Structure 1
C-alpha cells in the first residue's frame, strides 16, 4: 500500500533533482512540470508497480503531497492507503 509518506518521498526526490527543497510539507504546493511528471511516473512504476502513461496522467500543474496521495487513492484504491 502506498502511504502518504511514500507519496512525499516520491515528490521530494523529484524536487531534489531540480535543486528543490530536501523535504516538503504535506500541504505545500509543488509545481509539476513535464520533467517532474515523467520522473514521478517512473518512480511509481519502479517502486510500486503502478503504470500511468504520461498522456493519461491528469495531474494539475501544481499539487501538494496530500493531493497527489489523494489522486493515487482515487485512481488506484486497492493499492493506496486511505490515510491523509
Structure 2
C-alpha cells in the first residue's frame, strides 16, 4: 500500500464510505443500506472514481497494490483499508 495523507482532520467511517458507494451512476445496483459484510465487487473504473473522491474529500492519496485490491471484498474491508491508510499504514484491527 502506498499512501500520502492530507490534514483534513476528518476520519473515514463506514457510513462515509457507504455514502461514497451510493452514487448509482458509478455503482449501479448497490443498495443505499449496504451491509458491512455483503459481498462488494469494484470494477476498475469504480475503484479509480472512489479513490479520486477519497483524495478530494480527505486529502488521502492511496495507491493500492493488486493484493490490496483483491482484499476489498466488503464495505467493512474497504473501510478498514482506507482507515489504515489514513492512519499512515498502521493496522486498525479494532
Q: Verify same fold: TM over 0.5.
A: yes
Distance 1:69 1:2, change over 3 A: same
For 1:23-69, what per-residue CA distance to the aligned partner results, in whole angstroms no more than 9, with x for missing partners?
Answer: 1111111111111111111110111111124x647322751111111
The SS at the match of 1:41 is helix
Which sections of structure 1, spanning at least 5 residues, go unmatched?
none
Moved runs in structure 1, 4+ residues, more than 6 A?
none
The CA distance in 2 between the partners of 1:48 and 1:63, in whole Å, is 22
Aligned length: 78
Aligned counterpart in structure 2 of residue 9 of structure 1, from 8, 13, 19: 19
SS of residue matched to 1:52 = strand
The 3 A distance-change label for structure 1 pair 69 and 61 is closer
Flag structure 2 segments of 5+ consecutive residues without an equivalent. 1-10
Over aligned residue pairs, what C-alpha RMSD do you find?
A: 2.6
**Contact preservation (8 Å) 1:27, 1:65:** yes
